[in-house]
């Protein structure tokens, strides 16, 4: 460790992410996306890279200061389609793998996305937004800026945290571009959004998802449709029973795999793997007996450009591989149409993307670990043997020292087994006492896991121990566990978090019980507010993008009215229950110095939540400070403006430094 230092907030500018690997049809080449932050422009830059798997030498294929995404090989492996913002807006381009300039094939005035090759390789389907009285073939010129005018609102779902105020006249439709005839054709013309999924290998169907319910304010259905490109006839195969997406065809086009649920527990329902037999018209849930969610539910604050992989098939059209989240890991499972399911790649790591070689059951895998931010591996799924293909952060990390988490398990007050980790300070010395910070994730239906977390590493570099656990409500520990928080916010989950501190204090004598801090964002911000209103054991706290008042949250959040009913199990007819679960009710009890961090354009947990808490604390003479981040939304800590992400970490560091210092 001589001459090395721990991770600093501004090291975000030095770290890179690899994502969205795509194996070529011949299994000998791959393409992927590499993302980094450019300090001069304070923006994210992503480019397309190529690698021959025999030579294993990364070659950059696109350059510039734009964002590149969604790369996909043509069926013959000679061309690549991808999305780029090089002309100021997301459009689809194709390029030859043998070199040459990329050709722009879409000029949609509202942008284009999700390129999907036809099996013959002569067409590319894509998604674009158009107005209901327009067609994709009409004038492609960019829309002129509109004069400011009042916003007329008729629907409850009229804004989103990522999109701001929604233009409800724009509808997502599916079109196809014929590369030989240089001709554009619109395939859907509906009053509702049609989200492109996949093209069947026999060319007969294009799958897409849509919610056809008229009153979408109270509908959370997402159905899967099969569209015949020639006749434009469609068939709804899920028939309004839940929310489904991520379709994937077997090579012989007999089966369509997809992910989703019937929402038995609303948004706390674990996603399952389903199979549709196209010839028989029968759908089957293949993971009913697997008490773990399908997909990736690990939360972090570093990775960029992550794309959730679909089910990926072997050539026998009966077997496949897919993602599962379980006990702190996201792993790859094997399955088949007969219902056989078992883990194939099950290490203490975060497999956040993969691309299967259907010929030999190997895969390209994007992997992150607690001390390994991001790299690509070649994995043999039958043996688990891994070969590293990239070393994008190795040179930088050679001059840094990282804290390696230690797994912890303990019994909560009500008998639940709770799982988590503890990290020592990077300068740990036996016999010393260290301030310790409890971190709480958002969601609540998410999971801390074995992945790189920049915030945690910056805190350990400052001399803090860090504890982070998955209390009830977290994914990865079964359906009963993830559902247990609903209607009980601040109850059993609070007990689990306090049990985590009790366990750590009993088990790790280096923790200074007089210098404890707590922080979290979103649901973690709610729990931070709740904790300081119910115990004085923490000497400092930082609440981020939090909820403090369920009554006002009901009407101001982009998800408020239904999320509150799902999670608190109450609406405005039961004000008392909403108020009982609101940290603002207990503000007079708060003695812990509390830093409030909030984004101005946060529509998920609107900034009025932070404002209410700040004013109530100041009015009662409490120690508090309110920091508002302009031009930022709920995703500030993960994908916000890099400079603000760094400032946020510095504010957290300095607040804990002020109140947890030994001086």
pLDDT band at 134 (very low <50, low <70, confident <90, very high): confident
Strand order in the sheet with 195-199: 195-199, 206-210, 223-227, 234-236
Provide the 10 A C-beta neighbour count for residue 253: 18
State how far Cα 390 lies from the chain centre: 23
Please answer whether residues 92 and 175 qualify as being in contact, where contact means their C-beta atoms are separated by less than 8 angstroms: no
Does the pLDDT value for residue 188 go beyond 90? yes
d(CA 126, CA 103) in angstroms, rounded, equals 16
261's tokens:
């649920």
- Do you know the residue count of the chain? 663
Mean pLDDT of the chain: 96
Give the Å distances, CA to CA, from 498 to 73, 423, 470: 50, 18, 12
Residues 224, 230, 235: CA angle, nearest 5 degrees = 25
pLDDT of residue 2: 58
DSSP code of 148?
Answer: P
Q: Is the pLDDT of residue 139 over 80?
A: no
Confidence band (pLDDT; 50, 70, 90) for 68?
A: very high
Q: How far apart are CA 269 and CA 264, in angstroms?
A: 6
Q: What is the pLDDT of residue 663?
A: 58
pLDDT at 519 over 60: yes
Domains 113-136+170-285 and 293-392 belong to one CATH topology: yes
pLDDT in tens, 407-425: 999 998 788 899 999 999 9
469-488 per-position pLDDT tens digit: 999 999 999 999 999 999 99
What does the domain layout of the chain look like in residue ranges? 17-104, 113-136+170-285, 293-392, 402-593
Report how far residue 353's alpha carbon sits from residue 322's, in angstroms, rounded to the nearest whole number: 10
Residue among 87, 445, 12 nearest 269 (CA): 445
Q: Give the three-state DSSP class for 185.
A: strand
pLDDT in tens, 86-129: 999 999 999 999 988 999 999 999 999 999 999 999 999 999 99
Are 313 and 319 within 8 A, CB to CB?
Answer: yes
pLDDT at res. 64: 87
Q: Which of 403, 522, 557, 599 is catalytic?
A: 522
What's the average model confidence in pLDDT over 447-464? 98
Mean local confidence (pLDDT), 232-257: 97
Instruction: Write down the number of H helices and E strands in the chain.
Output: 11, 38
| 113-136+170-285 CATH, one of 3.40.640.10, 3.30.70.580, 1.10.3720.10, 2.120.10.30 | 2.120.10.30
- Could you tell me the two tokens for 554? 């009901």
Distance of CA 486 to the CA centre of its chain: 21
Peptide bond into 390 cis (omega under 30): no
Q: What is the CATH number of domain 293-392?
A: 2.120.10.30
Cβ–Cβ contacts within 10 Å for residue 149, how many? 6
Q: How far is CA 563 from CA 215, 294, 295, 638, in A?
A: 17, 22, 21, 22
Q: Residue 4: which pLDDT band, with cuts at 50, 70 and 90?
A: confident
pLDDT confidence of residue 146: 60
Over residues 203-233, the pLDDT tens digits come to 999 999 999 999 999 999 999 999 999 999 9
- Beta carbons of 207 and 226 less than 8 angstroms apart: yes
Interval 335-358 mean pLDDT: 96
pLDDT at 505 over 90: yes
Worst-scoring range by mean pLDDT, 139-153, 215-229, 398-412? Answer: 139-153
pLDDT for 99 equals 84
Mean pLDDT of 336-344: 96
Per-residue confidence (pLDDT) for residue 219, from 0 to 100: 94
Q: In the structure, what pLDDT confidence band is assigned to residue 270 with cuts at 50, 70 and 90?
A: very high
The pLDDT value recorded for residue 421 is 98
Give the burial class of 487: count Cβ atoms within 10 A of its Cβ; 0-12 exposed, 13-18 middle, 19 or more buried: middle
- The pTM assigned to this predicted structure is 0.96
Whether residue 143 is predicted with pLDDT greater than 90 in this model: the reply is: no
Question: Containing H/E element for 498?
Answer: helix 492-507
Q: Which fold has domain 402-593?
A: Rossmann fold (3.40.50)
Render the burial of 615-630: b for 16+ CB within 10 Å, e for the rest: ebbeeeebebbbbebe
Residue 18: pLDDT band (50, 70, 90) is very high
pLDDT at 542: 98
Check if 327 is active-site: no
Report percent pLDDT > 90 for the chain: 93
Q: Is 507 part of the annotated catalytic residue set? A: no
Could you report the per-residue pLDDT of 565-593, keeping only the tens digit for each? 999 999 999 999 999 999 999 999 999 99
Catalytic site residue from 350, 441, 598, 634: 634
What residues contact residue 107 under an 8 Å CB cut-off, 6+ apart?
91, 140
Residues 6+ apart with CB under 8 A from 514: 539
Mean pLDDT of the region 349-374 = 97
Q: What pLDDT shows up at residue 291?
A: 98
């Amino acid at each position: 460790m001589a001459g090395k230092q721990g991770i600093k907030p501004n090291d975000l500018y030095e770290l890179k992410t690899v994502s969205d690997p795509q194996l070529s049809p011949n299994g000998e080449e791959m393409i992927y996306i590499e993302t980094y932050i450019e300090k001069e422009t304070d923006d994210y830059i992503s480019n397309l890279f190529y690698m021959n798997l025999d030579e294993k030498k990364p070659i950059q294929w696109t350059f510039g200061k734009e964002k590149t995404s969604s790369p996909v090989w043509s069926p013959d492996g000679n061309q690549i389609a991808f999305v780029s913002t090089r002309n100021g807006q997301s459009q689809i381009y194709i390029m030859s793998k043998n070199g040459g300039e990329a050709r722009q094939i879409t000029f949609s005035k509202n942008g284009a996305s999700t390129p999907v090759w036809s099996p013959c390789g002569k067409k590319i389907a894509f998604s674009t937004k158009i107005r209901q009285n327009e067609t994709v073939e009409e004038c492609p010129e960019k829309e002129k800026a509109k004069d400011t005018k009042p916003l007329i609102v008729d629907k409850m779902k009229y804004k989103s945290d990522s999109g701001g105020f929604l233009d409800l006249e724009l509808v997502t439709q599916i079109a196809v571009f014929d590369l030989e005839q240089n001709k554009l054709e619109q395939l859907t013309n509906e009053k509702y959004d049609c989200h492109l999924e996949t093209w069947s290998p026999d060319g007969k169907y294009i799958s897409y998802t849509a919610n056809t319910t008229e009153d979408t304010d109270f509908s959370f259905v997402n159905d899967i449709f099969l569209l015949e490109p020639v006749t434009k006839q469609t068939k709804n195969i899920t028939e309004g029973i839940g929310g489904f997406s991520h379709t994937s065809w077997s090579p012989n086009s007999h089966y369509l795999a997809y992910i989703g649920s019937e929402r038995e527990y609303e948004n706390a329902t674990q996603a399952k793997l389903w199979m549709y037999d196209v010839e028989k018209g029968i759908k089957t849930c293949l993971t009913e007996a697997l008490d773990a969610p399908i997909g990736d539910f690990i939360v972090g604050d570093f990775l960029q450009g992550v794309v959730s992989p679909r089910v990926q098939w072997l050539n026998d059209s009966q077997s496949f591989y897919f993602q599962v989240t379980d006990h702190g890991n996201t792993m790859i499972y094997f399955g088949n149409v007969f219902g056989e399911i078992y883990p194939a790649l099950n290490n203490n790591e975060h497999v956040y993307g993969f691309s299967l070689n259907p010929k030999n059951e190997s895969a390209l895998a994007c992997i992150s670990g607690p001390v390994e931010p991001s790299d690509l591996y070649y994995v043999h799924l039958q043996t688990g043997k891994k070969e590293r293909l990239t070393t994008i952060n190795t040179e930088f990390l050679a001059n840094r020292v990282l804290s390696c988490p230690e797994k912890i398990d303990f019994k909560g007050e009500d008998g639940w087994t709770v799982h988590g980790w503890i990290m020592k300070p990077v300068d740990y010395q036996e016999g010393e006492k260290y301030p310790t910070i409890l971190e709480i994730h958002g969601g609540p239906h998410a999971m801390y896991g074995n992945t790189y977390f920049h915030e945690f590493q910056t805190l350990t570099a400052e001399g803090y121990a860090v504890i982070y656990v998955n209390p009830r409500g977290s994914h990865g520990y079964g359906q009963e566990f993830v559902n247990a928080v609903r209607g009980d916010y601040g109850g059993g989950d609070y007990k689990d978090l306090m049990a985590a501190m009790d366990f750590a204090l009993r088990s790790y004598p280096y923790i200074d019980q007089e210098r404890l801090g707590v922080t979290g964002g979103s649901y973690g911000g709610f729990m931070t507010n709740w904790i300081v209103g119910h115990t004085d054991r923490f000497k400092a706290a930082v609440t981020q993008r939090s909820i403090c008042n369920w009554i006002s949250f009901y009407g101001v959040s982009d998800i408020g009215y239904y999320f509150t009913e799902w999670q608190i199990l109450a609406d405005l007819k039961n004000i008392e229950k909403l108020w009982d679960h609101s940290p603002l009710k207990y503000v007079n009890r708060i003695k812990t110095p509390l830093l409030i961090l909030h984004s101005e354009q946060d529509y998920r947990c609107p900034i009025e939540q932070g404002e209410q808490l700040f004013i109530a604390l100041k009015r009662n003479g409490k120690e508090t400070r309110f920091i508002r981040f302009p031009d930022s939304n709920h995703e500030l800590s993960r994908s916000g403006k890099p400079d603000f992400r760094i400032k946020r970490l510095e504010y957290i560091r300095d607040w804990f430094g002020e109140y947890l210092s030994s001086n």
